[in-house]
Amino acid sequence: MAITQAEFDIVRTLIRGEAGIVLEQGKEYLVEARLSPLARREGIASTSDLIAQLGRLKGPLHTKVVEAMTTNETIFFRDVEPFEVLRKEILPKLIEARRTSRRLQIWCGASSTGQEPYSIAMTLLDIPELASWKVDILATDISTDVLARARGGLYSQLEVNRGLPATHLVKYFEKKGLEWQINDKIRSMVRFEFLNLMKPLPSMTAPDIVFLRNVLIYFDTADKSAILTRIRGVMRQDGYLFLGAAETTRSLDDRFERLPFSKTGCYRIGSEPQPALRALA
């Protein structure tokens, strides 16, 4: 049964307010598809009844609705090339720059079920020199559900089939029944924590590398700008930012400068403001 416009608006306002996620008109089916399993789990008769309960004071149900409405799709080594750029270009530069402290801080800002930070961890292990360094990977997300899954490091056959080179599967995973678990060594390299990108950033060690991939796409322009500017404020001034293939800093934060890797959105903080996007219509 389809939800009404009024019900759609309640959900839309909630997730926009809490998570910054913009749901366009016409996405009613998405609300239905995501909230009806939640209603079932909560023992509530229908999606409409569930939404009706949101009228009251903010509580755990609101959080669950926000979590249910996030899109958590991800794969190991998504888009392949960014991890090549990380390994061949960015890490060598940072190893040079941090030679005295021998420390690297990496922050993955929308880590979903963990494939991305674990792909970063596996990439780091490709560089023997880093073995004696102190490298921290902080992985954060707004959904406590995906954070719990990520900490467990258990993946289905389909998930490990996708994107993960077979050599890495053999090297870093153990078979657990029908599932696959990433080994303790890799798991211990990543710390998972809750973080809502819409809120002021909590205090954190300034990251040398920020991964913020495939999450800005859900936000409106003002929120994208604000988030990028906050990230620029917290990261090391000679650090690097990776965005998703469909994302950019252009016209959103003019201090980020795109590096010339064709298909990978990798940015650093430039000395000159960058021009906004220009168009002719």
Partner 1 sequence: MRLMLSRMLQELGFEVSQAGHGREALTHLQSHEDTDLALVDWNMPEMNGLELVEAVRQDARFTNLRMMMVTTETEMSQMARALGAGANEYVMKPFTRDVIADKLRILGLTE
Residue 120, token pair as written in the block: 């970063």
Strand pairing class (240-243; 265-269): antiparallel
Beta-strand ranges (E) seen in the chain are 103-108, 134-141, 154-155, 173-176, 179-182, 190-194, 209-212, 240-243, 256-258, 265-269
Sole window of 56-64, 101-109, 154-162, 192-200 interacting with partner 1 (rule: CB under 8 A): 154-162
From partner 1, ligand SAM, none, which one binds at residue 157 (CB under 5 to 8 Å depending on kind)? partner 1
Q: Which of 165, 202, 270, 273 binds partner 1 (CB under 8 A)?
A: 165
Query: Which CB atom, from 113 or from 249, has the smaller least distance to partner 1?
Result: 113
Sole window of 3-11, 47-55, 171-179, 201-209 interacting with partner 1 (rule: CB under 8 A): 171-179
Query: In the complex, what is the shortest distance from the CB of residue 170 to partner 1, in angstroms, rounded to a whole number?
Result: 5
166 binds partner 1 (CB under 8 A): yes
Taking CB under 8 A as the criterion, which residues in 52-81 touch partner 1? Answer: 75, 77, 80
- What are the CA-CA distances from residue 211 to residues 19, 110, 242, 265, 269 (Å)? 18, 8, 5, 10, 15
Residue 51, token pair as written in the block: 């939404």
Residue 23, token pair as written in the block: 């749901």
What DSSP line would sit under 48-67, residue for residue? HHHHHGGGSS--HHHHHHHH
From ligand SAM, partner 1, none, which one binds at residue 198 (CB under 5 to 8 Å depending on kind)? ligand SAM
Query: In the complex, what is the shortest distance from the CB of residue 212 to partner 1, in angstroms, rounded to a whole number?
Result: 22
Which residues of this protein are in contact with partner 1, per CB under 8 A? 75, 77, 80, 157-158, 161-163, 165-167, 169-170, 173-175
